[in-house]
Structure 1
Amino acid sequence: MTTLVIGATGTVGAFVVEYLSASGERVLAAARHGAVRFDWYDRGTWDTALDGVDRMYLIAPADDSDPVAAMRPFLSAARDSGVKRAVLQSGSPVEEGDPGLGRVHAAVAETFPEWAVLRPSWFMQNFSGTHVQGESIRTRGEIVSATGSGRVGFIDARDIARVATAALTSDVAMNRETILTGPQALSYDDVAAILSRASGRPVRHVGVTADRLAEIFESGGMPTEYATALAAMDAAIATGAEDRVTDEVLRLTGRAPRSFEEFAA
């Protein structure tokens, strides 16, 4: 079997490539600047990426508020070239049929006989690396959000990748959606306290309105529509929309997900 991983240089995709390769699978690592060049908006890159592929991991184009427009033609091309299984990385707030990724969810389910949609909660990695929150923590000792006291079942990207590997190589998650979380739901105040203990330096949570948060995202170079959508998700967290924990990581991989304390350490 040959698996195409789209977004192979991304937060989750890089781990998917690593874990599939470690298990002996043949992997094509595709990205704009990956081992296999792939661009959702350049059909000239599609044929090479799909050559010999029978399953694939899909990560939608970043900062696109309507990704189905770019993805649906590729999904049809993949089916016609012999791809039988597609695993889509979506997000916990997104229901099938919703605008954006929800429409991609529906398209994947309609196109392939074997499919899975992974709906992970917010990434622990959002507080590290080049993410806007990671930068804010390092430069100002602040986490800025519009979440209030709302809680989130933050998940390590490595645990998402382990589930993705299982979904691509076995039938444990077939033809359904799966909500993935870490082992506990935490507020941003909780996160700040954990990071303070782990780093030995103060980190505080600064609450702002959703409108102000969108402005902050935009000032960092994010497109207006995308910034507004992300800020609205923060506002939803404040109402309890993400206050949940599932056992899917353990059930599908046989190993409990990492805690935020482990990640922070």
Structure 2
Amino acid sequence: MSDRGAVLVTGATGNTGSRVVPRLAGLGRTVRAAARRPSAPYGIPFDWYDPSTHAAALRGADSVYLVPPVGDPEPDAVMLPFLERARAAGVRRAVLLSSSAIPRGGPAVGRVHAVLPELFDQRAVLRPSWFMQNFTGRHLHAATIRDSGVIMSAAGDGRVGFIDADDIAAVAARALTDESAPGTDLVLTGPQALSYDDIAAVITEVTGGRVTHRRLTPDRLRERLAAVMPGDFAALLAAMDRDIAGGAEDRTTDTVERMTGRPARSFRAFAEEELRREAPADRC
């Protein structure tokens, strides 16, 4: 884009935002890394639920990467007023992080997806499959793997095209900085669709610690998730697992390669690099 302004990255300390920021900086773009607890060197305070933080974050921005507030089943309530304000402030391009499981006009962020074309001519909606990072760090699957060598889901034998957050960030950076934005939604997956049994087998082989997949009913999964997140969001996630069991996520796309010029990383390659170093030494 000519006469380039800053790129505002919301959720800048999260899975994808923390990866988008350095990519944009490496391309020579001015970055505003917006988060409730921002970090140097590009950090700026931002809270979806505190409109007093919005004007400063938007100042000088012509593009924005939109990460919905985590765990909110109705993010449109805060995101749509912000997007109206962003357009009035001079933002010309918006790239929204959604989900492969949520179509335009669907629940949660799907309602933001539906309105985006009315607000921005330059736009893209990233619809990644489930993150490989769900099995690392502080995420729920990672915790149960560390604690008991178990992955719990209601997905049955259903398969998912798990994707690395680094690949999502690479696509986001292109969508934010190419001469023209894609102008459509982009379904992002890894190169293989894998079941949770497959995932458990790869983790077992790579780390040397035995991991199994424990199959729950959707209701049982919802109850378990509701202990650590809002009930409506827990119900949404449990319904997504039920859909996975029915084959809704059994697909792969070449979008990462088309957008970046390189293939998406496989789960095995991810596990060999990221999971092996997290494996507890005393579990077998």
TM-score, length of structure 1 as denominator length: 0.98
Q: Could you give the per-residue CA deviations for residues 35-90 of structure 1, whole angstroms, max 9, x where no partner exists?
A: 21111111100110000000010001111111111111100100000000000000
What's the offset of the Cα at 1:106? 1.5
Correspondent of 1:254 among 249, 253, 261: 261
Correspondent of 2:78 among 57, 63, 70: 70
Q: For the residues of structure 2 that align with 1:50 and 1:28, how far apart are their CA atoms? A: 9
What's the offset of the Cα at 1:18? 1.5
Aligned-residue CA RMSD (Å): 0.9
Q: Which residue of 1 aligns with 2:278?
A: none
Q: Could you give the per-residue CA deviations for residues 183-217 of structure 1, whole angstroms, max 9, x where no partner exists?
A: 00000000000000110110000001011111111
Decide whether the 8 Å contact of 1:55 with 1:84 is kept in 2: yes
Cα separation, partners in 2 of 1:183 and 1:230, compared to 1, 3 Å: same
Aligned residues: 264
What's the offset of the Cα at 1:99? 2.0
Decide whether the 8 Å contact of 2:12 with 2:21 is kept in 1: yes
What's the offset of the Cα at 1:144? 0.3
Q: Could you give the per-residue CA deviations for residues 94-135 of structure 1, whole angstroms, max 9, x where no partner exists?
A: 111112111100122211121100000000000111011000
Q: Which residue of 2 aligns with 1:16?
A: 20
**Is 2:32 aligned against 1:28?**
yes
Decide whether the 8 Å contact of 2:157 with 2:197 is kept in 1: yes
Is there any run of 5+ residues in structure 1 with no aligned partner, and where? none
Q: Which residue of 1 aligns with 2:280?
A: none
Correspondent of 2:246 among 234, 239, 245: 239
* Runs of 4+ displaced beyond 3 Å: none
Q: For the residues of structure 1 that align with 2:54 and 2:21, how far apart are their CA atoms? A: 19
Q: For the residues of structure 2 that align with 1:118 and 1:201, how far apart are their CA atoms? A: 34
Q: For the residues of structure 1 that align with 2:239 and 2:140, how far apart are their CA atoms? A: 16
The residue identity in structure 1 corresponding to 2:27 is: S
The residue identity in structure 1 corresponding to 2:162 is: F
Is there any run of 5+ residues in structure 2 with no aligned partner, and where? 273-284
SS in 1 for 2:32: strand
Decide whether the 8 Å contact of 1:85 with 1:115 is kept in 2: yes
Identity %: 53
